[in-house]
Structure formats: structure tokens, C-alpha cells
Chain A
């Protein structure tokens, strides 16, 4: 799967960063420093890398970042953030590795918790999809059409758009991408602690749940239930 560490710099000078991402056993799977860790003035950057996650169950990854000033950052001096990755079997079958391929593939659920730092915001945005082992197979992309209804249409400013998204993405994963793509949706529709309960989704005209896996060419519609009378 692919991880993206999204960093933003609100200062008028470039910020050097130093840090790393570690897995649940504390092993460093990615270092962030040097040119890659440098954020231009008033700029932002996505630092993306791929890592193969093995094993059905929950996996936790942590990103540690500091801006070299050795001072505590805001919000309780916390300078790390974690993301949980859940690998699920499909139809009750365990993933079975055969050569470089898996017998089954499936999306994953992710926690999405942005947090603020002094001078920069670090959000461990992850591309919420999983094609194990993706770094061997290569990431496949597909096209889906997203249709917006009612209030969503007004917020996004158009009725539909075609998006290129990672193969095998779930409805929940797509929603995460839409939130990134359209901040208006994130701010006005999905609150910080929103568990997506207030969003209804259809895939090719059928009502679906958030764990539904999408296919190339799908038409996904999102609509908010209205409640007035």
C-alpha cells in the first residue's frame, strides 16, 4: 500500500524537517529528511512511499516529525501521529500468498486524524487502498464517475466528475479522496469526528455500504439524506 505524509508550512521561510515512519515493532520503514523533508515557504508537500503490509489484522504505523527547533510543538507537545491499517480477508478466506500474487484482495479501513503542529500541519494522509503486495504487483489505477446530489452538488459546484483512483478502492476510501479533493465537503458535510453515517452512497444505481469494493467504470453517487417536512 502507499503512504502519503502531507505537510504544510504556514511560515514565510522554508522549513527543514527530520523524522521517520515506524511500524508496529518500532522498525523504521521510511526516513524523512534532507531535500525530501524540506517544505518551501507557505508551501505544502506530499511525501509518498510504498510499503507492503502483511498479515490479516490491525497494523499501526507512526510518523515522527520535527522541524529541528527542539521545542515542543503545539497541542501537548505531540510530534507524532499514527495511522491504523486493517487487513481483512474477503468472504472469510485468509490471504494466501502464491508466488507474488495473493488469492484475494480487498480494501481497508483507516483512521483519519489530522493534528496540528507549530508552524506546520502534519497529516498522515494515506491512500486508503490495499492491493497486497502492491509494490510487487505495481499499483493499478481505474476510472470511476462520481455523481453529487443535492447539497453535495452545490458544495462541489458540479453534478459529476470522472476520477482516476487506485484499483480495488472501497467506497470508504473513495470518500476519503473526495474529502481531500473538495475541502468544502470535508468542512461542511463531514465533521472531524464524522463516521460517514450521514452520507448515502450508491454504486451503479444500487445502494451500497462503505466497505464495498469499486471496479473500473463504476458510477458512484453520493447524496445526503434530507429530513425536513
Chain B
């Protein structure tokens, strides 16, 4: 049941989701895999929306060059708190009605079942396709939706994988050549793509609108282009 405080807090979006939809958000557990450029806005807006439990996964500590985009990490966190812990501290103060769980470590084929147990939706905020494909396999084994997002420079892409209904990330992206080393990125690009990923999660959980299932959104903020490609 939603408390009086929660009903007031979420008043403007209950106008869209209804009380029932807001209850669904409260009863959901969402995993944010990667708490960096995408994971920061994703975790922030999911907490704002009143997701009951957030599971934050990352193995790194924030570095100075992360801070142009990873807005959940501050100067005081540099080299000290691992990203999930750094984010948890802020999100708990931001919305104490949201339970924040953390896993500090790298997802592997061995630990993924244990770490992601009980999750309703996975949000892919990773920076490499190797771990993405691991998430993809898990999502298909457990039949859990996976919201994929990726960014580079002023570009971004989002698609929502629903096992049994859509293509898998393997099928969509095939063999992606990993670019090693640092890539250019503007914080606001991650902000836009992360916000779209959060909308996907909210649509999946409440049933409003149409998620990007079997569709790939490709954006280029340098030219303000938003294109949706049918993946069927």
C-alpha cells in the first residue's frame, strides 16, 4: 500500500499511471547494471519514480574523468567509494522510500544467477558488449525484459528486449567489435539516453504506451535526429 506521503510525492505521475500503476512500481525490483554515465541518470530517475527496490551493480570506483557524465558521483567519492555505494548514499537521502541494494563486483557467468535473483527488469547501462551478451543470455533464460542503452559522443541507441517477443541483443548486434580505450562522450548524451531507458522501464512495469520492442531508437544529438528502425 502506498503511504499518504508517497501519494503526495508521486501525485503528478499517479495522474498518468493511476494508483495501481504506482503500486506496481513500488512492488518492483529493477537492476541497474553499470552505475556510470547511463547508470547515474537511470538510477536517479528510477528512484524518483518510486521503484520499490533498485539493485546497483558496478565494480569500479569513480575517477575524476568520469565526472563529466556520471552525475551520481561527486568529488568526495573519487577513489574512495565504489560506484554502487557512492550512488546508494545519495539515492537513500533523495528518496528514503526506495530500497537500494548493491553488488560491488563484476558480473560473471558464475555469479549472475545469484546476483540478479528476483529482478523484474534489467537496465543495461554497461560499457562493453561482452557483459551485455551475458545479461542477454540471462534475460532469455529467466524470461526477464532487458532495456538496452549505449552511448558514444553525441550518439545513442535504445531498444527493449523481451524474451519470446523480440530479437535478442545477439541477434540484433551480432559480433560487435569492441573499441578498446577511452571513447568520447558528453554527459548530456548519457542523460538523454538514460532518461529514455527509464521511460522504457516505466512503460514495461505500468503498461502505458509502447516500449521499444522490436525497434531500435538511434539518436544523434549533434543534429537532433531521432530514428526508429524496425527490427522484426
Interface segment, one of B5-13, B89-97, B99-107, B174-182: B174-182
Is A55 an interface residue, CB under 8 A from the partner? no
Q: How far is the CA of A225 from the CA of B170 in the complex (A)?
A: 12
Question: If A225-B173, A229-B36, A229-B126 touch, does A206 touch B232 (CB 8 Å cutoff)?
Answer: yes
For residue B35, which residue of chain A has the nearest CB? Answer: A229
Interface-facing stretch out of B23-31, B113-121, B146-154: B146-154
B152, A226: Cβ atoms under 8 Å? yes
Q: With the chains together, A96 CA to B43 CA distance in Å?
A: 61
Q: Are B220 and A149 closer than 8 Å at their CB atoms?
A: yes
Given contacts A150-B155, A229-B125, A229-B150, is CB(A207)–CB(B232) below 8 Å? yes
Any A CB within 8 A of the CB of B50: no
Which B residues are in CB contact (< 8 Å) with A153? 220, 223
B-contacting 9-mer, from A11-19, A73-81, A100-108, A195-203: A195-203
Please state if B220 and A150 are interface contacts (CB–CB under 8 Å): yes
Q: State how many angstroms separate the Cβ of B198 from the closest Cβ of chain A.
A: 14
Measured between C-beta atoms, what is the minimum distance from A153 to chain B in Å? 7
Query: Once bound together, how far apart are the Cα atoms of A225 and B217, in whole Å?
Result: 11
Question: A138: CB under 8 A from chain B?
Answer: no
Residue numbers in A under 8 Å from B172 (CB-CB): 200, 207
Shortest Cβ distance from B13 into chain A, in angstroms? 26
- Shortest CB–CB separation between residue B185 and chain A, in angstroms? 6
The docked-state distance in angstroms from the alpha carbon of A206 to that of B214 is 10
CA A228 – CA B128 in complex, angstroms? 7
Establish whether residues B218 and A150, one from each chain, have CB atoms under 8 Å apart when the complex forms: yes
Pick the contact of A206 from B34, B126, B230 — CB < 8 Å? Answer: B230
0 or 1 for each of B105-140: is its CB under 8 Å from A? (1 = yes): 000000000000000000011111100100000000
> Which residues of chain B come closer than 8 Å to A229, judged between CB atoms?
34, 36-39, 124-128, 149-151, 190
A202-229 vs B, CB cutoff 8 Å, 1 = contact: the mask equals 1001110000000000000101011111
Cα–Cα, bound, A149→B222 (Å)? 11
Task: Please tell me if A159 contacts chain B, counting CB pairs below 8 Å.
Answer: yes
With A197-B174, A206-B232, A228-B151 as known contacts, state yes or no: A223 contacts B179, CB within 8 Å.
Answer: no
A151 part of interface (Cβ distance < 8 Å): yes
* Closest Cβ neighbor of A226 among chain B residues: B152
Q: Is B156 an interface residue (CB 8 A)?
A: yes
Question: Which of A197, A202, A226 sits near B156, CB closer than 8 Å?
Answer: A226
Quick check: is B168 within 8 A (CB to CB) of the other chain? no
What secondary structure prevails in chain B residues at the interface with A? mixed
For residue A198, which residues in chain B have a CB less than 8 angstroms away from its CB? 175-177
Residues of B within 8 A of A223 (CB): 218, 229
- Chain A residues lying within 8 Å of B152, measured Cβ to Cβ, are 150-151, 226-228
A207 CA to B98 CA, complexed, in Å:
39
What separation, in Å, do the CA atoms of A228 and B183 have in the docked complex?
A: 7
- Asked if A226 and B157 make an inter-chain contact with CB atoms under 8 angstroms apart, the answer reads yes
Q: In the complex, are the beta carbons of A207 and B39 less than 8 A apart?
A: no
CA distance A223 to B37 in the complex (A): 22
The reply to whether B151 and A197 contact each other, CB–CB distance below 8 Å, is no
Bound CA span A229–B225, Å: 20
Q: B218, A197: Cβ atoms under 8 Å?
A: no
Report if B20 contacts A (CB, 8 A). Answer: no
Contacts of B128 in A (CB 8 A): 227, 229
Contact B218 A149 (CB under 8 A): yes
Is B216 part of the contact surface with A, judged by Cβ < 8 Å? yes
Compute how far the CA of A2 lies from the CA of B34 in the bound complex, rounded to whole angstroms.
51
A173 to chain B, nearest CB (A): 19
Alpha-carbon distance between A124 and B175 when the two chains are bound, in angstroms? 28
**B220 / chain A contacts, CB cutoff of 8 Å:** 149-150, 153
Task: Check A207 against B150 for contact (C-beta < 8 Å).
Answer: no
Query: CB of B64 within 8 A of chain A?
Result: no
Taking the closest CB of chain B, its distance from the CB of A193, in whole angstroms, is 11
Docked complex Cα distance between A150 and B155 (Å): 6
Q: Top 7 nearest A-B pairs by Cβ distance?
A: A226-B152, A229-B127, A150-B155, A197-B175, A206-B230, A202-B229, A228-B152
Can you sample 17 A-B contacts with CB below 8 Å? A149-B218, A200-B173, A200-B216, A205-B230, A206-B232, A207-B229, A221-B227, A221-B229, A225-B173, A226-B156, A226-B157, A227-B129, A227-B150, A228-B151, A229-B124, A229-B150, A229-B190
